[in-house]
């Protein structure tokens, strides 16, 4: 599957490794949370980056003590109807202060790209290469938002308050 980052298809530098497979040396790996938690101490000495796949049915606060050890967090969308990973992404960004790469994996659909980006996802594990163009189109389609989000675009309320406050100061 192609990996989309900032609207471009990029090479995936992480190798997904199953729980029963040995970790390759000198390569960035993406492993499941159970394996990560079982081997957390041993992974501290690893010379290559470690990313984790976090399931959407587990409280995201459990990852807080390990954030300094991770270089990537992948949140799973098992179904297009299951949006718990959006909440996890916002909690990671806003409450836990995660600034590293955040990847959407699983059942990722084009019509969800904008919300994924606004929720804090940097990378999307897309279904097909044409999704990169769809991603760019989706994030450019709207310029005004009612809801605040983790991205840099201010909500309509913040825009209006900014103009009002600027007018008062003058």
> What pTM was estimated for this model as a whole?
0.80
Residue 7 Cα distances to 4, 40, 66, 138, angstroms: 6, 33, 29, 10
- Which domains does the chain carry? 3-142 (3.20.20.70)
34 touches 12 (CB < 8 A): no
Identify which of 30, 34, 24, 31 has the alpha carbon closest to the alpha carbon of residue 12.
30
Instruction: Report residue 31: phi and psi, to 5°.
Output: -125, 165
Burial of 16 (0-12, 13-18, 19+ CB in 10 A): middle
User: What length does the chain have?
Assistant: 170
Q: What is the pLDDT of residue 170?
A: 42
Q: What does DSSP say about strands 8-10 and 3-5: parallel, antiparallel, or unpaired?
A: antiparallel
Q: What is the pLDDT of residue 64?
A: 94
- Give the mean pLDDT per block of 10 residues along the chain (170 residues): 80 93 94 93 91 94 94 92 90 94 87 79 80 65 60 65 57
Q: Is the dihedral of CA 160, 95, 120, 115 positive or negative?
A: negative
**Strands of the 8-10 sheet, one edge to the other:** 8-10, 3-5, 123-125, 102-106, 72-77, 50-54, 28-32, 14-16
Report d(CA 87, CA 120) in Å as an integer. 10
């Amino acid at each position: 599957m192609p990996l989309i980052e900032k609207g471009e298809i990029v090479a995936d530098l992480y190798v997904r490794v199953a729980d029963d497979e040995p970790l390759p040396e000198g390569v960035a790996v993406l492993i499941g949370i159970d394996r990560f938690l079982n081997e957390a101490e041993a992974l501290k000495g690893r010379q290559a980056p470690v990313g984790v796949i976090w399931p959407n049915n587990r409280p995201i606060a459990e990852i807080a003590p390990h954030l300094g050890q991770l270089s990537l967090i992948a949140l799973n969308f098992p179904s297009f109807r299951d949006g718990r990973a959006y909440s996890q992404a916002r909690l990671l960004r806003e409450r836990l202060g995660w600034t590293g790469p955040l990847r959407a994996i699983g059942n990722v659909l084009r019509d969800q790209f904008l919300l994924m980006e606004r929720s804090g996802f940097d990378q999307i594990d897309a279904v097909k290469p044409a999704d990169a163009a769809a991603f760019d189109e989706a994030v450019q389609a709207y310029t005004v938002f009612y809801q605040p989000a983790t991205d840099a675009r201010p909500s309509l309320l913040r825009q209006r308050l900014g103009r009002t406050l600027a007018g008062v100061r003058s």
